[in-house]
Amino acid sequence: DIAFLDTDILKKGSIGRELQDCKEKVIKIGRMDEKFIREFLKKNGIRVLVVGNDLEAVSYRFVIIAKEMGIKTVLIQDGAICTHSYREKMSIDFLRISLSEISPAFVIEKITSALNPKWKVDQRENYRYGRYVDYALIWGNFTKRELEKVGVNTKFVIVGAPIFDGVKMAHNKALLGKYGLDLNKKTLLYAPTDAPSARLFSTKAFKDMTKMLTDVVATQENLQLIIKPHPRFITRENGFFNKYIKKNVFEIRDENSLSLIEASDVLITDVSSTAMEAIIMGLPVIILNTAGRYYSEPFPRAYIEGGVAKAATNENELEKAIDKCLYDKNVKQDFLSNRKNFLKDQFYKLDN
């Protein structure tokens, strides 16, 4: 059975639709007080509790109570880890973004959790994984090392990354014709995170970075750029990238990232997990950060230190990185050589 928290997510978005359509029994949960959680776990005979995050308020409550009841708790790594985020200070702009994305129920949940000292989680800890569960099923040795650095001492089990098992090295430009792109030009794919929502970049810094990239591409006739917006941009600010569209700059929303990576020659991103997908598929990666500040750990540092990505912090560095990734055979060879070791360290093995 799937124990699912009954929030607005069932009413909107793809996750909600998938859950409504699935054949398995979905148990909807409303109240999150301690008495209800204990009764729920006991009544349903839960023997193992599985979470993707043991620091999020609701999951944390379930984990702590389950352990008190002798129920084994397991965390499954659900994405690239982020042990620290160095965020911009809260501003009116960030407040606007937050209020446009989250439901009143979510706000109330966060406030009540903060006010109740019993459910207080130390925010200085890594906010993603493994503090409280009995076992953490993780992708590879890299995750283990990074979590141990910040004091996580749970029982780690390296299981690889099934989410990437079906991703293979591939390159096929056929998709470009569908959207009016030139099959003979070199194609850059810009797939950023929604950094303003996470307060990693201010909205102004993010816009400045996007403008710089599109201006660079616009001056080079042999290049074309695809912008792949993060889904939250489409939901929150539907026309966010409209003003950056030029004769050789295109926005493509409806294709999945893997198809666009397969059709491109270089991926440009900030800290998005599309970098992982691109590296697996054999595509050079450029990490673009013009905000003038460090914002996240251990990614994107790990991409650059692993020799599978180039860093660019200004227009000059960006132009050089694009040129090297596209035309320098030594850079391409180094990337492919480093890629093998990087993937083994990150994912143990990708065995399909």
For residue 167, list its beta bridge partners. none
Give the pLDDT of residue 350: 83
Q: How confident is the model at residue 171 (pLDDT cuts 50, 70, 90)?
A: confident
Output the DSSP codes for 9-78.
Answer: GGTSHHHHHHHHH-SS-EEEE----HHHHHHHHHHTT--EEEES-SSSHHHHHHHHHHHHTT-EEEEE--
Q: Residue 241: its pLDDT value, please?
A: 92
pLDDT tens-digit series, residues 187-214? 999 999 888 877 788 888 899 999 999 9
Contact 29, 3 (CB under 8 A): yes
Contacts of residue 31, defined as CB under 8 A and 6 or more positions apart, other chains included, come to: none
pLDDT at 345: 96
For residue 225, pLDDT beyond 50: yes
Counting other chains too, the contacts that 244-248 makes at CB distance below 8 Å and 24 or more residues apart are: 244/210, 244/211, 244/214, 246/214, 246/217, 246/218, 247/218, 248/185, 248/217, 248/218, 248/221, 248/223, 248/224
Mean pLDDT of the chain: 83
Is pLDDT of 346 > 90? yes
Find tokens 């990614």 and name the residue: 299
CB-based burial label for 335 (10 Å; 0-12, 13-18, 19+): buried
SS3 214: helix
pLDDT tens track for 33-57: 788 889 989 999 999 999 988 887 7
Alpha-carbon torsion, ordered 251, 254, 255, 260, to 10 deg: 10
On the question of pLDDT at 8 being above 50, the answer is: no
Asked if pLDDT for residue 254 goes beyond 50, the answer is yes
Q: How does pLDDT run across 110-158, given as a tens digit for each residue?
A: 555 555 555 554 444 445 578 899 999 999 999 999 999 888 889 999 9
Longest Cα–Cα distance in the chain: 66
Residues in the chain: 352
Cβ neighbour number for residue 175 with a 10 Å cutoff: 18
Between 121 and 352, where is the model more confident? 352
Q: Residue 201: what pLDDT? A: 84
262: pLDDT strictly greater than 90: yes
Share of the chain above pLDDT 90, in %: 52
pLDDT tens digits, 266-316: 999 998 889 999 999 999 999 999 988 878 889 999 999 999 999 999 999
As given in the structure block, the two tokens for residue 246 are 């030029």
Q: Which two tokens stand for residue 183?
A: 């099959």
Stretch among 67-76, 199-208, 218-227, 325-334 having the lowest mean pLDDT: 199-208
30 falls in which pLDDT band (50, 70, 90)? Answer: low
Please say if the pLDDT value at position 2 is more than 50.
Answer: no
Task: Supply φ then ψ for residue 286, to 5 degrees.
Answer: -115, 125
On whether the CB atoms of residues 134 and 154 are closer than 8 A, the answer is: yes
* Burial (0-12, 13-18, 19+ Cβ within 10 Å), 38: middle
Please, what is the angle between helix 104-115 and helix 57-68, to 10°? 50
